[in-house]
Structure 1
Amino acid sequence: MTATRAALPPLAARARQVGSSPVRDILALTARPEVISFAGGLPAPELFDAQGLRAAFERVLAERPGQVLQYSTTEGDPQLRAAVAARLTARGLATGAEDLLVTGGSQQGLTLLATALLEPGDVVLVENPTYLAALQCFGFAGARVVPVPTDDDGVLPDTLEELVVRERPKLLYLIPTFQNPTGRTLPAERRRAVAEVAGRHGLWIAEDDPYGELRFEGAHQPWIASHEAAADRTVLLGSFSKVMAPGMRLGWLRTPAALRRSCVVAKQAADLHTSTVDQAAAARYLADRDLDAHLARVRSAYRDRRDALLAGLAAALPPGSTWNRPEGGMFVWVRLGGGRDATALLPEAVRHEVAYVPGAPFFTRSPDPASLRMSFTTHTPEEIREGLARLAKVF
């Protein structure tokens, strides 16, 4: 006799409604070594300071193994928090170690922020286009995501204020410096205007800054968090993934006091704390090595790679195409001419052993089918030139 088997309860609605990241899916399709991929926003692995990091891990494991292999506090390693605070202060944003929470990459910081702030139905304003994983995060929180119109410099403050008045959002999410996916940087005067809008109308700002230390040229722009109008309502998210190593999964939140404890409690519920040994090694690395000297080498290599990409785009892309020239970061934003659809052309590109990310999935509304994102960090200038030659055959 066969036992009756009842159907299992359904998945949560949010799990059914939030899709997989197209970027991660494309990376899986292009994992073959013969593919030259402009798709992933990946740091160059040959530029990792593997020797320095190995020495840091060896030292902390030799000197205090019982401590670094044990559970630790949710807020994070005190030495690491102090080092991050010192770097932020030196760059013009006065910060104490007590202002910081160490996270599993800045991605977890965004999740903690959404957990602490957002109820289902709350409105979140985002740039259009914006970071895909942020859209996933807000989708899991049940938020209603509303795009803010942008131009080549980022969000338009006057339009932002109109949306704030109409939509009454709880949160504004921005990547002001070398934005993902567009590579653009919000000018200083717009940063001030955004801070003043938040101050006048009462909303939180999530200022995501994973790329800010990858500036090749031009002047550093002040953080939105540094403006008095938004100082008590701006959460600054940072990461060691682009400047040290993404595999360590280390990031941080700089939070106003009113939000800090809620983020700590959310992290306790998520994972108790970030890896103790990784935090200790990162703190040791920052004490023993010169991260700024390492970053100078990384920025020099990335500048050469950006320049190689920019130099070859005119010959590779169809007539009428346009692209920007970022002053740093990892991405160039392209719009194909001739009415071409970047998503439709991607399978043909993969057949030619080259890849990029179509721009359409980064948009909350009104996607631009002609747009695409190209990352220049992973390949050498020679590989970039070969990749562009392959793209020319596709286009």
Structure 2
Amino acid sequence: MTVPDSSQQPFRFPVAARYAGMESSPLKDIFALAAREDVVSFAGGIPDPALFALEDVTSCYDWVLSHQGHRALQYGVSEGERELREQAARRLSRDLPTEASQIRVTSGSQEGLFVIAQALLEPGDVVLVESPTYLAAVQAFSVHGARIIGVDTDDDGVIAEALEEAIRTHHPRMVYLIPTFQNPTGRTMPVARREAVAEVLRRTDVPLVEDDPYGALSFSGTTWAPIASLPGMGERTILLNSMSKLMSPGVRIGWMRAEGPVLDTLAVAKAAISMQSSVVDQLTVARYLETADLDAHVARVSAVYRERRDAMASAIAPVLPEGAHVTRPEGGMFLWAALGEGYDAQAMLADAVEAGVAYLPGWSFFADHADRSTMRLSFVTHSPAVIEEAIARLGEVIARHRAA
């Protein structure tokens, strides 16, 4: 037997096939761009830390460690701490009657997607998603062997007739939707569209995974009840919420709402993945929801985000090519621009970064048939003045590529 000469080449761990070729990812690249001091990054949905309610959060951590310190620093339960599940149920019950027993706590919505994939998907299962959709959801489902198929959308979200046709053709395991202030487009489904989608799902008996991390960030004060709240949908929907965009992404706390036996399966999957979410963070979030005025805080943040949305929308309109389409969201964090035929936002990115501005190319948000002329721009991190100056530089890059 010949022993390989390890001095000739560096050792490499064997990598599972589902991660082959994934040394990087769009999400990893987002945070790398956001960290560059020489670049104004619109790439990530990174809340402005100046808007965090730091004093309130600090006092909640202090209270938890002073009054529940030994418990807070101990192991917890996979379902989540009782106080947090009660507070989550209270918030959800504004639109959808919910009990604490129907809540499962996660380390942000991202872990929730992974838990759902682990609990529900078999290799080869089909998941239907909006086209485009949240790229990390595509990743979470794909690494579990699912086939991700995009369903046609318009400015009101997923098209109900296209969804029904896709269900008939592909027999999906589940449908994944972000109905309110969608990532990446910022679109919101009106009530009539939500009802049409719910009718399709009820009639075809297909489960829904509904992701709602942005719904409270409304610029008009109008909020939309989740699809899960429509008749017959609560029992067939897993609804995801997160505190990342409302309180702080650093605490990594979110939750899932479901009904029936799947709750036990979700808890088992959660235990296998991470045992439990941080107890000290759960108790702090519970204390924050109990004692702080989250609605007032969100209203203040949303007012700032609206001003920044207006700044970006006004600045970008004149620099886009003729025939381009850009969304103007009524809440959330993102604008979505489609430059049109002949443009490749990925190819343009290096020149944009060289000019000191970054965005996220839109191709990564498509499960299939990507529109490479698209880009996602987050308006929440920077002031209007910075946004206007950076978009002007981006406009110069677009103009050079137009001439090419």
Give the TM-score range, shorter chain. over 0.9
In structure 2, do the counterparts of structure 1 residues 14 and 251 end up closer, same or farther at CA, with 3 Å as the change threshold? same
The offset of 1:10, in angstroms, is: 3.4
Query: Residues 28-107 of structure 1 correspond to what in structure 2 (within 5 A)?
Result: 28-90=32-94, 92-107=95-110
Conservation of the 8 A alpha-carbon contact between 1:218 and 1:327: no
String of CA shifts for 1:219-268, please: whole Å, max 9, x gaps. 32221111223221100000000000001000100012121000000011
String of CA shifts for 1:48-107, please: whole Å, max 9, x gaps. 1111111110111111211111111111111111111111112x2111111101100011
Query: Residues 338-377 of structure 1 correspond to what in structure 2 (within 5 A)?
Result: 339-377=342-380
Query: Residues 3-22 of structure 1 correspond to what in structure 2 (within 5 A)?
Result: 4=4, 10-16=14-20, 20-22=24-26
TM-score w.r.t. length of structure 2 = 0.93
Distance 2:13 2:66 in 1: 50
- List gaps (5 residues or longer) in structure 1: none
Structure 2 match to 1:335? 338
1:119 and 2:109 correspond: no
Residue identity opposite 2:73 in structure 1 = L
Distance 2:272 2:138 in 1: 22
Residue identity opposite 2:45 in structure 1 = G
The offset of 1:142, in angstroms, is: 0.1
The offset of 1:26, in angstroms, is: 4.0
1:133 and 2:136 correspond: yes
Conservation of the 8 A alpha-carbon contact between 1:317 and 1:391: no
1:191 and 2:194 correspond: yes
Residue identity opposite 2:75 in structure 1 = Y
Residue identity opposite 1:65 in structure 2 = G
Structure 2 match to 1:393? 396
TM-score w.r.t. length of structure 1 = 0.95
SS where residue 93 of structure 2 aligns?
A: helix
Aligned residues: 393
The offset of 1:28, in angstroms, is: 1.1
Structure 2 match to 1:238? 241
In structure 2, do the counterparts of structure 1 residues 17 and 214 end up closer, same or farther at CA, with 3 Å as the change threshold? same
Residue identity opposite 2:335 in structure 1 = V
SS where residue 64 of structure 1 aligns?
A: helix
SS where residue 128 of structure 2 aligns?
A: strand
The offset of 1:18, in angstroms, is: 5.3
The offset of 1:292, in angstroms, is: 0.8
String of CA shifts for 1:317-369, please: whole Å, max 9, x gaps. 33332211110000011111562221111100000110111111111111112
SS where residue 375 of structure 2 aligns?
A: strand
Distance 1:124 1:40 in 2: 25
Distance 2:225 2:298 in 1: 20
Conservation of the 8 A alpha-carbon contact between 2:34 and 2:44: no
Structure 1 match to 2:209? 206
The offset of 1:17, in angstroms, is: 5.7
Q: Tell which deviates more after alignment, 19-28 or 373-382.
A: 19-28
Q: Tell which deviates more after alignment, 312-321 or 281-290.
A: 312-321
Distance 1:27 1:72 in 2: 30
In structure 2, do the counterparts of structure 1 residues 338 and 200 end up closer, same or farther at CA, with 3 Å as the change threshold? closer
Structure 2 match to 1:27? 31
Distance 1:32 1:131 in 2: 24
Distance 1:286 1:218 in 2: 20
Conservation of the 8 A alpha-carbon contact between 2:33 and 2:358: no
- List gaps (5 residues or longer) in structure 2: 399-404
Distance 1:25 1:38 in 2: 12
Q: Tell which deviates more after alignment, 344-353 or 209-218.
A: 209-218
SS where residue 374 of structure 1 aligns?
A: strand
Residue identity opposite 2:271 in structure 1 = Q
Q: Tell which deviates more after alignment, 3-12 or 201-210.
A: 3-12
**Aligned-pair identity (%):** 50
CA RMSD in angstroms comes to: 1.7
Distance 1:113 1:265 in 2: 11
Distance 2:344 2:143 in 1: 29
Residue identity opposite 1:316 in structure 2 = V
